Structure 1
Amino acid sequence: MTRWDIHPAGVYGVLSRTGTAAKDMSDAGSAMQGNLEEAASAAGTLTSQYGPYTSTVGLVGSALGQFAEHWGRDLLYIAERTSKSLDGADEATRFYLAGSLEQAENAQREAAKEPKVDMPGAGETGRHAEGK
């Protein structure tokens, strides 16, 4: 069994600061997603000059889309990993304070498990969960 010697006030101070940083990171990720879409849209399209006159995403827009697709899984993984870690530390500390060391150990073990990340609409598990 794990030995426990923690200072709950210190844990909650770290959780509070880390939660604030995680929120800022989440807000930045959301803004980046919107900015990438806007930039891809504003980058223009390629149009065939020989008919039928159809337009496709231009080179810059395509590159931005590939960037978002490639790094999106990693960013979601970071968000899930952070959330599990914060929640697990909070839960384990609450069990510790209640004197339930076995439940605290279980909460710690669950928080350490690898998160499964599914991309919205893609139905794929993220590269970290698959070992990619």
Structure 2
Amino acid sequence: MGVTGWDISPSGVQSILSLVGQAADELSEAVQGYGKSAQSAAVSAGTISGPSCGNAPVGPVGAAVANFVTDTEYKVKFMGARTRKTMEGTIAATTEYVEGDLRMAADAQREASKAPTTQELNAVAGKRDGK
């Protein structure tokens, strides 16, 4: 018995996955920019006292930005990993769906090509139970 209520269009899935892939690429670029922007913000946020020489000391705003980035790093990485895993799962499920349809069609064709059984011959002849 096949799966009922499912109507998957492999070309439709491919189209949507293409759009998701583009969005994932844009997200990846944004994440890379996020890290650079956060670093720049932390350095440019200012300090309570000015630098005497060398690198500027990190002020409270810069430290807060750095803490924010540290606190959100896992969530940002999780988004990328979840997107990739979801896309791979969608591809695998669609492949199984198509291969399942092909297997069912092959099984049905194989059954149809078999010689009729005695019961099937009797049914066509209007006989029941070989009588």
TM-score (normalised: structure 1): 0.61
Match of 1:87 in 2: 88
**Residue type at the aligned position of 1:77:** F
**Paired positions, count:** 95
**Residue type at the aligned position of 2:43:** S
CA distance in 2, matches of 1:98, 1:2: 12
RMSD value over aligned CA atoms? 2.7
Structure 1: runs of 5+ lacking an equivalent? 49-54, 102-132
Higher strand share: 1
| Aligned-residue identity in percent | 36
Structure 2: runs of 5+ lacking an equivalent? 51-55, 103-131
Q: Select which of 10, 13, 23 maps to 1:11.
A: 13
TM-score (normalised: structure 2): 0.61
Pairs within 5 Å for 1:51-66: 56-66=57-67
Specify the structure having the higher radius of gyration (Cα). Answer: 2
Higher helix share: 2
* 1:30-60 per-position Cα deviation (integer Å, ceiling 9, x unaligned): 1011111122122344569xxxxxx742111
* 1:63-118 per-position Cα deviation (integer Å, ceiling 9, x unaligned): 111111122111111111111001110122123222389xxxxxxxxxxxxxxxxx
